[in-house]
Amino acid sequence: MAYTTIDDPQANYQIELWTGDQSENARTLDGDTDMQPNLVWVKGRSFADTGGIFDSVRGATKLLIPSATSAESTVAQSLKSFDSDGFTMGTESALNKSSNTMVAWCWKESAAAGLDIIEFTGNATARNISHNLSAIPEVIFIKNHSSSSSYWTSYHKPVGNTGELYLNTDDGAGGSVAAWNDTTPDASNFRLGANTGVNGDGNTIIAYVMAPIQGFSRFSSYIGNGSTNGPFVHTGFRPAMVICKRYDSTGGWYTYDIKRPGRNNENAYLQADTTSAEDTNSGNFGFDFLANGFKIRGSYATLNASGGTFVYMAWADQPFVNSEGEPANAR
């Protein structure tokens, strides 16, 4: 049996690094395969600022801030277009600051790649929302983008259908708002409660719905051991990007990718829940990208507390075994 259905992860996920110039220009993704992204998350590396999330359903120039509850804003000089081989960035300094380093994480929307982007109008009544993945979602991020006070609410399979995490905070898992109406998603729908953050009456809401694809993406959990010889987490591929979040207690959304700084022991992380610049706190936050997973090398409690429970999301740089059942060649 084939191990992966996606031999070329770069057809569905790529990372772009550049030095900002506050000029409008096309950012051509440098992977071996051209990819038109549908979801782009931009963050400054060398300076503190909000960054932004854009998707092709809401449209170019429509900015959401991952570290805040802010409503959607139209920023003419932000991401100006989704292009066949990347995107065009405008002059907005938070997204293209002159002489500062930037990163963009870019996903393609398709059932084959396990991503569906859905916009709907809330009705403050428990309901099903249909999706097109034909698989059971294990991660869902929802933002009421009409509201300036609604949190980024997220579902993660290990947390379960009675709890939620918030992308814009470092809070542990909560369960007081019944965001998912105590119902696990299925291969056709996910269930929402009446909470304003996920289903506000008359509000416009965006959902990023994700299902794991063998050999390309994995969404699961690990238990920390408090050691610099931390847990090895098997994904079945060499990750290009990993996001980790402690959920039994407070802890930020630690984001690593294979291009920053491009070597093991990886320690360059960004946090979704803050405006902070990239940090390289070696020793406390060390991280290795391996051929079939990742290994925690840091001992800090928010990444590797002894007995702590953590969710993670990982996307592939290279499958461990290709669709022919053969070992993939490392790039």
pLDDT of 3: 65
Reference 207, options 109, 61, 83, 85; nearest CA is 109
271: β partners: 254
Spell 6-23 as b/e; 16+ CB within 10 A means b. Answer: bebbbbbbbbbebebebe
Neighbour order of strands in the sheet with 86-89: 25-28, 86-89, 79-83
Nearest to 246 by CA among 296, 187, 186: 296
pLDDT tens sequence across 311-322: 999 999 988 777
**Per the structure block, which two tokens stand in for 55?**
């998707």
- Quote the pLDDT of residue 267: 77
Give the whole-angstrom CA distance, residue 271 versus residue 169. Answer: 10
DSSP reduced 3-state for 10:
helix
Quote the CA–CA distance of 192 and 126 in Å, as a whole number: 6
C-alpha distance from residue 87 to each of 79, 80, 204 (Å): 7, 7, 25
- What is the pLDDT, as a whole number, of residue 177? 84
Token pair 């293209």 in the structure block, residue: 96
Compute how many other C-beta atoms are within 10 angstroms of the C-beta atom of residue 161.
18
Q: What is the CA radius of gyration of the chain?
A: 19
Pairing of strands 25-28, 39-44: unpaired
Residues of the chain with pLDDT under 50: 1-2, 330-331
- Residue type at position 69: T
Which pLDDT does position 282 carry in this prediction?
59
Please report, as a single letter, which amino acid is at residue 274: T
Q: What is the DSSP letter of 71?
A: P
- What integer pLDDT is reported at residue 140 of this predicted model? 98
- Tell me if 42 sits within 8 A of 54, measured CB to CB: yes
pLDDT at 331: 43
- What the block records as the tokens of 306 is 């002894």
The three-class DSSP label of residue 303 is: helix
